Each structure stands twice: as C-alpha cells, then as structure tokens.
C-alpha cells in the first residue's frame, strides 16, 4: 500500500473546502420563516480537497484503483459471499493508499444485495416483502442542528415523491479505527427506509420504487447537501475514506452472519493525483472503476446538453 507523505496530510480550512460553487439554497419545506442558508456540497463537506488553486484543479483528478467481483450461482444468498468479497478486498491492499497519518485510506467499499434477513433482525420497523422497500445509508452533517434539518428535508422530499418513510437506523461504526484526517471529514451514517404509499399498488414495484428513490436521492444532494452511496430496493453500498483492512471492522454490520448476499463488488482506491473523500470512495451505485474514464467530462457535458429534453414521471 502506498503512503502519502505530502498533500493529503494538509487539512484545509472550512472556507477552502466550500469553494465557489457550493452555495445552494437550503431546502425548507415546512419552515418558510427560517432564513435560507448555503448548503455545502457533500463532495466538499466530507472531503479533504482544497478549492482550485495554483496548479491544482479538481477537473484534472484521476485515480488508479483495484476492484474485484464475486458471485454465486447456487441460487441463494449467504454470508460466505460477504466474507469472500472482503477477503478479495484485503488482497487489493497494494492497489490502495493511506495518508501521512497512516490511518486514513484513500477509499474502500463493498456493494451487495439488500441483506433483508439482517435488516429484519436489527430494525424495529414493519418492512414490506424483500424488494418492496428501499434502503440507503445517508451521509449526514455532524452538527445535530444541521442533521435535524437534513432529516426533516429528506422526509419531506420522500413524501413529495410518493414514498412512505418507514423509519431510520443509526449505522454502528468504529470511528477510532480511522486516522485523524478521515475523522475530521467523517459524516454521520444513518440508513433511510422507504416504501410505496399506504395502499398503493404497482405492477413493477421495484421499478417504481427505484425511480422515485432516484428522484429523492438527486434532490437530496442538490437541495440538502446529503449524499447517499446508494438508495435502492436491490443493492446497498458500504464505503468510506478507509483502507482495505479497515472496511469490515469499521462497519460491524459486515461481520454479522445474517448479512447475506449473492454477489459482492469491492474496490480499493488509489487517488494518484487527487484528494481522498468519503463520497468518492467506491463502489458507486452502478459501477466500480479504476479512475481512468477518459471521456467522463465529455459524457457529463453531453448529458447536461440533453437535460432540456429529458422527462421524469
């Protein structure tokens, strides 16, 4: 594993983290009397990167990472697939890096199917059948006042998009495992459970759920500054500014024998000329890559150019 001796050890000020483009109007569905405040983008709030300066520009960032995929053809989920995926992740230590404090990884993560049996055992909620509810881990602000605003805003957005809030779960983490830089930018972790409105029926429930959850997730990021590694009826992502060896002990959920899946995708990040970030750890929601998507800027611009022709039901 590579060790960073400069750059990543610098802790930028809060003002430099915000940058020029982070001011967004705070979403206040039920409190118009409260004055609007700027919202910090989650890609800046939960990161160690400074604003563009000198020869450094976030536009030029690339990574060099390692990834692995494991799946079973036996037809049923098991915790052994989680174990095998985490073993593969630890074998990718040489494809990751750590900061100068030796405890802050560039990023590591795991994508699995929704562990339905596990959630039914650990949450005191009436969950619908597997595949008929959405769950995702929200990266929330640390300040309680900001967390409350974000939670209320998320619940309001869900209602606006036709989803019923089933409840929340605080995700257990072992924060002492990570280095000072990772702790400085670490968010709160809470899982958000959603379902269709009471009495509503749909022919393809998973498709309807994921379509509405997508809109909640995008609006949450743009209006509230809340980041979801995933918000889906099918898959869930556990990730962070961690090393490959830290992921499992940091998230005790992953060691629970009831946490079962048929597949696992793991990723070890090496930020070759970038700064580590909690949101930019991988896997992402539908992809894990080595950071060399050379057309990514063009892809984004083409999509922005077509936004006026897109529609969402």
Query: Which residues are catalytically annotated?
Result: 65
Separation between Cα atoms, residue 85 and residue 256, nearest integer Å: 14
User: Which segments of the chain does DSSP mark as H helices, in order?
Assistant: 14-18, 42-45, 79-90, 116-122, 144-160, 180-184, 205-219, 247-250, 296-306
CA angle at 291 for the pair 278 and 281, rounded to the nearest 5°: 15
**CB neighbours of residue 6 within 10 Å:** 7
Separation between Cα atoms, residue 33 and residue 13, nearest integer Å: 31
Q: What's the length of the chain?
A: 313
User: Which segments of 229-312 does DSSP mark as H helices, in order?
Assistant: 247-250, 296-306
Q: 3-state DSSP: the chain helix, strand, coil percent, rounded to 5?
A: 30, 20, 50
Is residue 72 within 8 Å of 102, Cβ to Cβ? Answer: no
Instruction: Report which secondary-structure segment, H or E, holds 192.
Output: strand 188-196
Residue 166: closest CA among 117, 120, 127, 217: 127
Separation between Cα atoms, residue 153 and residue 174, nearest integer Å: 27
Q: How far, in whole angstroms, is CA 169 from its chain's centroid?
A: 15
């Amino acid at each position: 594993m590579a060790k960073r001796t400069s750059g990543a050890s610098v802790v930028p000020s809060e003002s430099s983290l915000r940058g020029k483009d982070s001011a967004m109007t705070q979403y206040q569905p039920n409190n118009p009397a409260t004055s609007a405040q700027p919202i910090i983008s989650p890609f800046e709030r939960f990161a160690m990167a400074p604003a563009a300066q000198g020869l450094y520009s976030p536009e030029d960032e690339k990574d060099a990472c390692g990834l692995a995929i494991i799946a079973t053809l036996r037809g049923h989920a098991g915790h052994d697939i989680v174990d095998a995926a985490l073993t593969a992740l630890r074998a990718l230590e040489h494809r990751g890096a750590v900061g100068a404090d030796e405890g802050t990884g560039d990023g590591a993560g795991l994508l699995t199917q929704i562990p339905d049996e596990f959630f039914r055992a650990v949450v005191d909620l009436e969950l619908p059948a597997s595949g008929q509810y959405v769950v995702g881990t929200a990266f929330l602000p640390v300040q309680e006042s900001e967390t409350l605003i974000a939670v209320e805003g998320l619940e309001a957005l869900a209602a606006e998009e036709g989803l019923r809030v089933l409840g929340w779960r605080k995700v257990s983490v072992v924060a002492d495992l990570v280095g000072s830089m990772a702790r400085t930018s670490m968010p709160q972790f809470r899982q958000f459970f959603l379902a269709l409105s009471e009495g509503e029926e749909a022919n393809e429930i998973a498709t309807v759920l994921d379509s509405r959850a997508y809109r909640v997730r995008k609006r949450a990021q743009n209006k509230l500054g809340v980041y979801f590694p995933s918000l889906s009826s099918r898959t869930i992502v556990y990730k962070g500014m961690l090393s490959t060896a830290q992921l499992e002990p940091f998230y005790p959920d992953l060691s629970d024998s009831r946490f079962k899946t048929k597949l696992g995708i793991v990723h070890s990040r090496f930020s070759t000329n970038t700064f580590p970030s909690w949101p930019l750890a991988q896997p992402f929601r539908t992809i894990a890559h080595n950071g060399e998507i050379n057309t990514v800027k063009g892809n984004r611009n083409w999509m922005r150019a077509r936004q006026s022709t897109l529609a969402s039901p």
